[in-house]
Amino acid sequence: MITIGLTGSIGMGKSTTAAMFAAEGAPVYDADAEVHKLQGPGGAAVAAIAAAFPGSVVDGAVDRQVLGAQVFGHPEKLQQLNGLIYPLLAEGRAKFFADAEAAGVGLVVLDIPMLFETGGEARMDAVVVVTAPENVQRERVLARPGYGAERLDAILARQMNDAEKRARAHFVVDTGEGLESARRQVREIIAVLKAPGGLAAHKAALEARRERPQD
């Protein structure tokens, strides 16, 4: 079973691309969605977060705005929060893999926004980076409720820049040219991954291009 790490900066169209992989029959593990479940009503992380970050739990669920205000700009508190969340996420991923293996699927997708930032790419067979032109990215994000330029810039400052992500990817999906173009790119990636020896050949060709002297 091939494990694909799907990542990309905010506003690049990663969730839409993940849905395209799912539509092609690839099970998708959504890390953000799992975090929301852990922090929602009855979530496994609620009690621990309430104890570590007083006032962050309201009516049995984590108030993400309150929690964000407590950890934003405090790396040590963010690390503390991650220490509560990551072990629980690992349990969910283990079940996801077990279910996929039982179903006999050939490839799975892990949708992880901070894949490179956490070193998670080392555990993937292939990494797909979702990208779009910067102006498209900013337009998408600033159209979301509650997002302004300052908040967007703060988020981007915590993420690896798009150019570096693309340079480290095995595959890139550019969503800036519309849904049909992105869907075609996803299908092309799946075709490579499903072909016998396709991933190994693709990686070898990619490495050769990277080692080729630049003019």
Nearest by Cα to 169 from 189, 198, 194:
189
24-56 pLDDT per residue, tens: 999 999 988 999 999 999 999 999 999 999 999
pLDDT at 140 over 60: yes
Model confidence at 90, in pLDDT bands (50, 70, 90)?
Answer: confident
% of residues, the chain, pLDDT over 90: 74
For the segment 18-24, the average pLDDT, to the nearest whole number, is: 97
Query: Chain-wide mean pLDDT for the chain?
Result: 92
Predicted TM-score (pTM) of the model is: 0.84
**What 3-state class would DSSP assign to 111?**
strand
Nearest by Cα to 172 from 188, 191, 153:
188
Please check whether residue 117 is in contact with residue 77, taking contact to mean a CB–CB distance below 8 angstroms: no
| Better pLDDT: 92 or 140 | 140
Q: What is the pLDDT of residue 78?
A: 86
Model confidence at 214, in pLDDT bands (50, 70, 90)?
Answer: low
Model confidence at 89, in pLDDT bands (50, 70, 90)?
Answer: confident
> β-strands 57-58, 61-62: how paired?
antiparallel
109-124 pLDDT per residue, tens: 999 988 998 899 999 9
158-198 pLDDT per residue, tens: 889 999 999 999 999 999 999 999 999 999 999 999 999 99
Residue for token pair 């396709």:
198
